[in-house]
Amino acid sequence: MRCSGACTKPTRPSSSASTRPSRWPDRWPRRCKLRVELMDLAVIALSARPLAASAARAGFAALSLDLFADLDTCANAARCVRVHKKNGFSFDGDDLIQALANLSPPGLPVVLGGGFEDDTPLMTRIAERNPILGNMAETVRVLKDPLALAALCGHLGIAFPPVTLDAPDGALAEAPLLEKKIGGAGGSHIRRRAPEETGPPAPGHYLQREVSGTAYSLLILSNGKEALPVGASWQWSHSDSTHPFRYGGAVGPVPLPAKHAAAILAGALRIATVCGLVGLISVDVLVEADRWWLVEINPRIGASIDIFDVDPMPPLLALHLAACGGKLPKALPQPKGATAAGILYAERDVMIPAGAWPNHVCDRTAAGTIIPAGAPICTVKRTASDMSAAVAQVRDGLAEMRNHLGLPQSQQVASSEA
């Protein structure tokens, strides 16, 4: 692990009774091996920046553990640590556990973001010492099991594209297929199968019939018995020759297509309550003119926190913690206008130059850092009067960053007409 420079002077943001879950004591006994300091919780994700920002907005002092320790992540955290990675963009589990043991007291609550869907044993290791405020490892494992998810959707009468772990046969053998990693996230793991590929998927992967449609994600807040929608977002991909379905960004809130909105909402809320999910979760769907498909459930805080954690919405991390304690608000305010966030990827190795980052850019890497080809460089985030304007501003912001970094221009954001 590597501690960022921001760790040397930890601070504790002010906290109010309205945002701290009532079941927490007013003061935790907190001691770490490097120094004594006050911390309310730890946030852990491949990129913990959105979680750290929401924690700061809620007045929580957070220990942040992720793969990047970006400048803006550290600015919002009481302590900020970069964890070693392995196999591309996965946690080195031993290093993460060591960092958590060195920097947090036993019992310090933990909130997890993306990065554990394909490593639920690591979630179990974390929970042995630090309670997870969110869905447990077994819940994540089941919902990321394609056969289990298919069975759940079948039981609830929700359309889900057919899947198999074996060589396709019957109607599936004649259909266009996608090969996906079990527990994969971010879309980089998805590829189209060529028609001549007739064998089983690679170990740890599954095959799914490819369906068309516009991609939406519904953010849900659930306390295990009841659930309510936070908002829907429209998502786009940023594809290249080897990653045709890589996540590119999102904009929200947006209305779901009127013909299917009620059914999509009812299905998402039903899944949350039937599965006893807690906190913030997201349900991803593809919508065609005459039907819709559920394609994924993310039983943790996802990327759309970036676009919904804005005024007048209460801090989403505070809502998540309260929901994990059984509390739901009667209703949630809707942001005015729309917020979009788009990711800039490196098409070649890029060295970050010296100089200030624009205010609308997040995930700010320190000058001199080399971003390897294929990795995310930063996120451009803009708020505007409506969806189209927000997407257009993100498109312009991405173009400006590409020009600033000497990258060739490309169309990273598709039309916002969903």
Give dist(CA 120, CA 91) in Å, integer. Answer: 12
Please give the sequence-ordered ranges of beta strands (E in DSSP) within 174-267, or none if there are none: 177-181, 191-192, 205-209, 214-223, 227-237, 247-252
Q: How many domains does the chain have?
A: 3
Give dist(CA 54, CA 310) in Å, integer. Answer: 9
Decide if 144 is inside a domain.
Answer: no
| Type of residue numbered 323 | A
Q: What is the pLDDT of residue 1?
A: 53
Decide if 417 is inside a domain.
Answer: no
Residue 63 DSSP label: E
Long-range contacts, stretch 174-177, CB < 8 angstroms, 24+ apart: 175/209, 175/210, 176/209, 176/210, 177/207, 177/208, 177/209, 177/210
Task: Give the range of the structural domain holding residue 197, as residue numbers without chain letter.
Answer: 162-209
Q: Quick one: 171 and 233 in the same domain?
A: no
Please confirm whether the linkage preceding 312 is cis (ω < 30° from 0).
yes
Residue 177 has pLDDT above 50, yes or no: yes
Decide if 332 is inside a domain.
Answer: yes
User: At 215, phi and psi to the nearest 5?
Assistant: -85, 125
Average model confidence (pLDDT) for the chain? 89
CATH number for 297: 3.30.470.20
Q: Quick one: 255 and 278 in the same domain?
A: yes
pLDDT digits (tens, 9 = 90+) for 35-83: 335 899 999 999 999 999 999 999 999 999 999 999 999 999 999 999 9
Give dist(CA 163, CA 48) in Å, integer. Answer: 32
Give dist(CA 85, CA 89) in Å, integer. Answer: 6
Task: Single out the residue of 80, 131, 138 nearest to residue 108, CA to CA.
Answer: 131
CA end-to-end span of the chain: 42
Q: How confident is the model at residue 175 (pLDDT cuts 50, 70, 90)?
A: very high
- Among residues 113, 133, 153, the one where a domain terminates is 133
Residue 23 has pLDDT above 80, yes or no: no
Residue 391 has pLDDT above 90, yes or no: yes
Residue 330 DSSP label: S
pLDDT digits (tens, 9 = 90+) for 325-339: 999 999 999 888 999
Six-digit token string for 391: 């997407």
Task: Single out the residue of 353, 346, 311, 348 nearest to residue 332, CA to CA.
Answer: 311
Residue 132 DSSP label: B
What average pLDDT does range 307-336 have in this prediction?
A: 96
Question: 96 CB contacts (<8 Å, ≥6 apart)?
Answer: 1, 44, 65, 83, 122, 126
What average pLDDT does range 138-149 have in this prediction?
A: 98
Decide if 145 is inside a domain.
Answer: no
Decide if 409 is inside a domain.
Answer: no
Q: How confident is the model at residue 31 (pLDDT cuts 50, 70, 90)?
A: very low
Q: What is the pLDDT of residue 37?
A: 56
Give dist(CA 5, CA 12) in Å, integer. Answer: 17
Residue 412 has pLDDT above 80, yes or no: no
Q: Is the Cβ–Cβ distance between 182 and 193 less than 8 Å?
A: no
Residue 115 has pLDDT above 90, yes or no: yes
Q: Quick one: 53 and 121 in the same domain?
A: yes
175 vs 9, higher pLDDT: 175
Q: Quick one: 238 and 360 in the same domain?
A: yes
Alpha helices in 294-356 (DSSP H): 305-308, 316-324
Task: Single out the residue of 2, 63, 51, 71 nearest to residue 362, CA to CA.
Answer: 71
- Among residues 194, 209, 224, the one where a domain terminates is 209
Give dist(CA 36, CA 82) in Å, integer. Answer: 20
Q: Is the Cβ–Cβ distance between 79 and 55 less than 8 Å?
A: no
